[in-house]
Amino acid sequence: MDVEAVLRAVLILGGVGLAFGVLVALAHTRLKVYEDPRIEGAVERLPGSNCGACGFAGCRAFAEGLVEATAQPAGCTQLGADGIATLAAYLGVEAGTAVKRVARLLCAGGANVAVQQAEYRGLSTCAAAAAVAAGGKGCSWGCIGLADCHDACDYEAIWMDAQDLPRVVPDNCTACGDCVDACPKDLFVLMPMEHKLLVQCKSALEGEAIEALCKVACTACGRCAADAAEGLIEMRSGLAVVDYGKNELATPEAITRCPTGAIRWVEGAQLPDTAPLAEMVTT
Amino acid sequence: MRNALRFRHGVHPPDSKTLTESLRTKRMPFPDEVVLPLSQHAGNPAKLLVQVGDHIERGDMIAAADGFISAPIHASASGVVEEIGLWPHPNGGYQDAVRIRVDPYSAQVPRARLLPEWEGLSPKELVDVVRDAGVVGLGGAAFPTYVKLMPREDTDIEVLVVNGCECEPYLTTDHRTMADFPERVHLGIRIMMKCLGVPRALIGIEKNKPDAIEAIRKTCPDDLDVEVLPLTVKYPQGAEKMLIKALLDREVPSGGLPLDVGVVVQNVASIATIAEAFETGLPLIERIVTVTGEGVAKPANLIVPVGTKLIDLINACGGLTKKAREVVLGGPMMGTAVSNLDAPVLKGTTGVVVLTARQIRAQRQYPCIRCGHCLDACPVFLNPQKLGNLAMAGRHQEMQDEHHLRDCMLCGCCSYVCPSNIPLSQLFGASRAALKRTAAPA
């Protein structure tokens, strides 16, 4: 056997390996990017669901924001008070304050109060039904009730009630906006909890025309606008529109004369009932 | 001898045209009121020109075109504007519309208008007349016709293809237009050929309309290169890309227009309307509508004022029968169901089909068995099975980027052949709507 050939091969391979090894070692020290170790620590203390409600592209981006002080721990809508305190203590920063926001449905026209003009058969999603005569509902602005929002929600914050209306559980809602994107009728809005005056209707029809289609629609009668503080509520294209810039002027007085109950004073859940637990478990 | 004219794939649904195919078109009596939505065409809604209380004559313009792709709207009956506001639209929503109470004592004779001698006009002037007459494609999409008549300078158009296929089951609108008004169709072809400067026209008619083929053949002018080509019956031959393939064996590229292969396609009903605008001076205010289906007492082909409420139209045909369960605008393959019979007939309404409970019974949906029938049916050679799985998983962007969702024309062939009853076409429609929603800034 030719020992020389074996040696040569070993030397060449060994040499190449050594040379690259040295290169890697150099690169490791020279090209090192410093990463704040607190980012990793903060990520561990965040929920890790990447819901995006904080406005950052996921939990890691939010953690980077925390370390760079462009975000505050309270910006996470999912952590809860304890989690935020822990995170703030870990980073040694102010917890900050955050406005708790929830998804609100701009429709109260459940199957018991809204006219169903035609029966819809076909693909059982709101997106598909919306293209076929708005799912047959008399009010073409209203909730179709096939639960696209419920399917889109990752936090068990939406359940469908007996009238086929989605109900939002404020404690579970992270205001991530998935339901807003899922609804083909654009009925969901994300609102701060302290916006308590809520018009639960989106129909552009007025008066008897809409009353014939839905018992709880806004008929644009203008009583709430007259009863509320000057300039707080305005009637615009068939609806009462609340100017939330003047939210501190809002009082429950505004809703007292509403003939249909379309405008509500909402504390906590949008509609009074609470979620039946059984249904929550099956989701 | 040329080979049999055909395109590949497609389906053969029962055409169900016997109910109305041999009935001559009749004029429907004027209804008590007409409702004219400002959005009846592809493009921008028209701009309102009238006020509540105005008295208007039949043919007066009540809304002007707004922008390049738009069309004016004219009163289809004399009367008084009673209301301007939201009214049920056939698409299921409410849209701004002008409601006119029809004057019961009016002779409904239009105000005398200048009748242009079309022979003396330049192509530009001809196009202006068509635009001002509010002519849109009557095949269903309602695209403003004048836009098609003025293609870009650099395009070279060789052939005008006249679409007389009417492959959609039940509908006989184009059929009766050709059989009852062949001279009008030929005049329209003559005008269009002058506008476009094309030397040649081909009229494609499916072989299940022998009387239409006969009538159009008999009246063919000698001085023009116009040829009638009978086509084998197949759905969706009336789709312009399929028709070009069948008649000329040319393929319109993905995302392209017929112009890219030197062709302009126009539906016969629209062509007849163009001729009518020059013959009578009247704009597009009435159209032929097929009212048919087992759910209607007396099926008919009617000349209907645009804006007639569906309920008035159905009552003019003897009303609904006891079996009626679903009212579809357009044919059963591509039409959409309506939920409110107060919605009016639009310029693009080809037919009203009333189906019975037995015909619409929901069939149970099974999982996809990958049989591949949908691939053999898709006339644009997509993969509906793959698209369907992606749609059900909500991967809409991927459908568009990698599987040519944009080329789908929602013809419904895949849904029709699927042995598992998967509503593929509806899934694709919903995906497209979802993509539109995400593209539009909220």
Q: Which domains does chain B have, with CATH numbers?
A: 2-20+117-280 (3.40.50.11540), 373-439 (no CATH)
3-state secondary structure of B51: coil
Task: Among 3.10.350, 3.40.630, 3.40.50, 3.30.70, name the CATH number for the domain at A194-267.
Answer: 3.30.70
Asked if A43 is an interface residue toward chain B (Cβ–Cβ < 8 A), one would say no
How much is the pLDDT for B302? Answer: 95
pLDDT digits (tens, 9 = 90+) for B338-354: 999 999 999 999 999 99
B93 contacts A209? CB cut-off 8 A: no
B361 vs B259, residue with greater confidence: B259
Token pair for A235:
């009637």
How much is the pLDDT for B281? Answer: 84
For chain A, residues classed under CATH 1.10.15.40 are 37-91
Asked if B437 is an interface residue toward chain A (Cβ–Cβ < 8 A), one would say yes
pLDDT band for position B116 (50/70/90)? low
pLDDT band for position B180 (50/70/90)? very high
pLDDT band for position B155 (50/70/90)? confident
Separation CA B92–CA B89 (nearest Å): 6
Residue in A with minimal Cα distance to B90: A133
- The fraction of chain B above a pLDDT of 90, given in percent, is 71
Cβ neighbours of A138 in B, within 8 Å: 339-340
B337 contacts A118? CB cut-off 8 A: yes
How much is the pLDDT for B114? Answer: 65
**How many CB atoms are closer than 10 A to CB A111?**
15
Asked if B336 is an interface residue toward chain A (Cβ–Cβ < 8 A), one would say yes
> Greatest CA span in chain B, whole angstroms?
64
Q: At what angle do helices A37-45 and A80-91 cross, to 10 degrees?
A: 170
Give which of B283, B7, B317 is closest to B144, Cα–Cα.
B283
B36 vs B363, residue with greater confidence: B36
Q: Which of B362, B427, B433 sits opposite A184 (nearest CB)?
A: B433
**Is the pLDDT score of B24 beyond 60?**
yes
Please give the mean pLDDT across all residues of chain B: 91
The pairing of beta strand B324-329 with beta strand B263-267: unpaired
Residue A74 is classified by DSSP as G
How much is the pLDDT for B305? Answer: 95
How much is the pLDDT for B9? Answer: 92
Q: Which of B92, B360, B438 sits opposite A132 (nearest CB)?
A: B92
**What contacts B120, CB < 8 A, 6 or more positions away?**
none
The pairing of beta strand A188-192 with beta strand A101-105: antiparallel
For chain A, residues classed under CATH 3.30.70.20 are 101-193
Residues 179-218 of A with CB under 8 A from B: 180-181, 184, 186, 204-205, 209
Considering only A33-42, B169-178, B291-300, which range has the smallest mean pLDDT?
A33-42
Query: What residue spans of A3-147 are helical by DSSP H?
Result: 3-30, 37-45, 59-67, 80-91, 126-129
How much is the pLDDT for A100? Answer: 85
Q: Are A194 and A209 in contact (CB under 8 A)?
A: no
Q: Are B108 and B78 in contact (CB under 8 A)?
A: yes
The architecture in CATH of the region A37-91 reads Orthogonal Bundle (1.10)
Please provide the DSSP assignment of B374-432 as one string: HHHH-TT---HHHHHHHHHTT-HHHHHHHH-GGG-----HHHHH-TT---HHHHHHHHH
Cβ neighbours of A180 in B, within 8 Å: 442
B336 contacts A123? CB cut-off 8 A: no
How much is the pLDDT for A247? Answer: 87
Enter the pTM of the model: 0.85
Token pair for B435:
């993509």
Neighbouring-strand partners of residue B27: B303
Separation CA B365–CA A246 (nearest Å): 52
Separation CA B324–CA B118 (nearest Å): 46
Neighbouring-strand partners of residue B33: B101
Q: Measure the CA angle with vertex A185, ends A182 and A190; round to 5°.
A: 60
**Is the pLDDT score of B419 beyond 70?**
yes
Measured between CA atoms, how close is A135 to chain B, in angstroms?
Answer: 8
How much is the pLDDT for A282? Answer: 38
pLDDT < 50 regions, chain A: 274-283
Task: Among 3.40.50.1000, 3.30.70.20, 3.90.950.10, 1.10.3720.10, name the CATH number for the domain at A101-193.
Answer: 3.30.70.20
How much is the pLDDT for B3? Answer: 54
Q: What is the mean pLDDT of residues B327-343?
A: 92
Asked if A86 is an interface residue toward chain B (Cβ–Cβ < 8 A), one would say no
Token pair for A54:
């904080």
Measured between CA atoms, how close is B343 to chain A, in angstroms?
Answer: 11
**Is the pLDDT score of B34 beyond 90?**
yes
pLDDT band for position B211 (50/70/90)? very high
Q: Which of A122, A133, A180 sits opposite B426 (nearest CB)?
A: A122
